[in-house]
Chain A
Amino acid sequence: MALQSLDIAKRSATTTEPPQARKTLEVAKLIDVSKCIGCKACQVACMQWNDLRDEVGTCAGTYDNPRDMTDQSWTVMRYAEVETEERGLEWLIRKDGCMHCEDPGCLKACPAPGAIIKYANGIVDFHQENCIGCGYCVSGCPFNVPRISQKDSKAYKCTLCSDRVAVGLEPACVKVCPTGSISFGSKVDMQELAEERVTELKERGFKNAGLYDPAGVGGTHVMYVLNHADKPALYSGLPADPTIAPTVTLWKSVAKPLAMAGMAAAALGGLFHYVMKGPNEVSKEIEAEVERELEGEK
């Protein structure tokens, strides 16, 4: 933490520059969906490294277990049975979790200073000790990732094992993946690796294979190699062109300064109106009129 606090690229609800003396390599995790066998070792490793234990759920008729991410399950495998024209039935398995956006919507929406941090290496991390539990990160996220704990009302999600990465280790899910479906390294290296794999897949007939590194959020630090990159939605609803919702942008970029200026103008306007026009007192004339009326009554 001591050194990590020196390489912060973005800090939630902070209008000044964060400390960024240290220059670090931009990292990325590459998930090659075409190599994934859906064994869930990554889910297990994630829980083990992060000391998380989700409640045992029930089977809903699919392999998805747990069925969704929670404050205790920061990554889940999503199994989609899809029929494509060229290949018939396909089982598309995607490891879901935080995408670690270059331009994180959660961080933009967060009102608590320092509750969400983006390190220079690209990892987006929640600092729960600063989290106030408002859930705005949920609104900000284009990927539906943050989960608010029912127990402590704090937001949780994948940290990309920022603690492991800080000391030169790869994330736990990467370490444990038995098929080499998950790789970790510099973002540039991962892009190159993906390119090689995409070429390979294309040669093998997946003509729409490609890398998922969506530009709408400035690129991500978790990327997918998809065998159907033209249709990301096939992979349990991966958004084709994720962006921070315009309502969130309007609220956080335009409304804030405008509203602050408007409210300040109202207050200052009042003060200066008073100073320049003077108070609106009852006129002496009317006071005298009322006096006369009362006299008349007597």
Chain B
Amino acid sequence: MIRDPHDLKRYTASERANHWITGICFILLALSGLSLFHPALFPLTLLFGGGTWTRILHPFIGVVMMLFFVVMFFRFQSLNRMREADWEWVKRAKEMVNGDDHNMPEMGKYNGGQKLLFWFLGVAMLVLFVSGIVIWRAYFSASFPIGVVRLGALLHAAFAALMIAAIIVHVYAAIWVRGTIRAMLYGTVTRAWAKQHHRAWYKQMTGK
């Protein structure tokens, strides 16, 4: 349903569904993972039916997330190649955060920060998936040497914490930049939004 025919299409329905399945998996994984990460958060296991259920469910949700993430990764990877303007954007990110975006270079569909996040998430998901398999006691841990299992647990916790922080930034950026969330909810953004934040993409989409 498009209310304003001038709005620009940013995501297809299938891309949005893909994103939200991954997102829901992430939230469930973060909650269940954190519950086993720090004693103060252990009560979060109640959301999953107790500690044992949390332990059982977490890795399966992880596999589902990985599947959908891989699809999303290959959908968006060509749009996320870092270019010179992106590095310039990253250098000036501090100005942006301070609320002054006048000197920011023109950005395509994604800005330098979004692209770096994209690649970081790719690495993090790979590390989390592999280390997650290694520490999946019910099926796999016994086939790995104990030193590898120990390293796996450490890497899994470290990358999970980094990824949670990164996703907090991702979500906050979407809230902070008004008019962004609708892109992932129903697919479109206003022309003014596009011109302000992704001018090169705006030009490409409108020919202006």
A residues near B, CB below 8 A? Answer: 13-15, 109, 111-113, 130-136, 138-139, 144, 148, 153, 245, 247-248, 250-251, 255-256, 258-260, 262-263, 265-267, 270, 273-274, 277-283, 286-287, 289-290, 293-294
Contacts and interface: CB of A to CB of B under 8 A. Distances in A.
Query: Nearest 4 CB-CB pairs, A to B?
Result: A135-B137, A259-B161, A270-B172, A132-B51
The listed residue with most A CB atoms (<10 A of its CB), out of B39, B50, B135, B162, is B39
A217 B20 CA distance: 47
A83 B79 CA distance: 66
Given A112-B42, A255-B157, A267 B168 contact: yes
Contacts of B50: 132
Contacts of B157: 251, 255-256, 259
Interface in B180-208: 190-193, 195-196, 206, 208
B106 interface: no
A245 B39 contact: no
Contacts of B45: 132
Contacts of A294: 6, 191
Chief secondary structure at chain A's binding surface: helix
B140 to A, nearest CB: 10
Given A256-B37, A270-B169, A132 B164 contact: no
A136 B152 CA distance: 11
Contacts of B6: 294
Interface string B148-169: 0111011001100110110011
The listed residue with most A CB atoms (<10 A of its CB), out of B137, B158, B171, is B137
Contacts of A132: 36, 45, 50-52, 54-55
B147 to A, nearest CB: 7
A280 B172 contact: no
The listed residue with most A CB atoms (<10 A of its CB), out of B52, B98, B157, B158, is B52
A247 B192 contact: no
Interface size grouping (class) on chain B: 35 or more
Contacts of B208: 293
A15 to B, nearest CB: 5
Chief secondary structure at chain B's binding surface: helix
Given A134-B55, A278-B99, A290-B195, 9 more contacts: A109-B153, A132-B36, A245-B146, A247-B153, A266-B172, A279-B177, A282-B190, A286-B195, A293-B206
B38 A256 contact: yes
Given A251-B157, A259-B37, A263-B165, A282 B51 contact: no
Interface of B: 6, 36-40, 42, 45, 50-52, 54-56, 97-99, 101, 135, 137-138, 141, 146-147, 149-151, 153-154, 157-158, 161-162, 164-165, 168-169, 171-172, 175-179, 190-193, 195-196, 206, 208
B36 A111 contact: yes
Contacts of B51: 112, 130, 132
B195 A263 contact: no
The listed residue with most B CB atoms (<10 A of its CB), out of A136, A255, A282, is A282
Given A112-B51, A245-B150, A255-B161, A266 B36 contact: no
A131 B196 CA distance: 54
B55 A138 contact: no
A15 B137 contact: no
Contacts, number: 143
Contacts of A250: 154
Nearest to B150: A247
A138 B169 contact: no
A258 B55 CA distance: 23
A96 to B, nearest CB: 16
A111 B190 CA distance: 48
Nearest to B180: A280
A247 B137 contact: no
B146 A111 contact: no
A282 B178 CA distance: 7
A274 B54 CA distance: 34
15 contacts: A133-B56, A138-B149, A144-B146, A153-B52, A251-B157, A256-B38, A259-B161, A263-B161, A263-B164, A267-B168, A270-B171, A270-B172, A270-B176, A282-B178, A286-B195
A286 B154 contact: no
A282 B6 CA distance: 16
A259 to B, nearest CB: 3
B116 to A, nearest CB: 15
A246 to B, nearest CB: 9
A255 B153 CA distance: 11
B178 to A, nearest CB: 5
A137 to B, nearest CB: 10
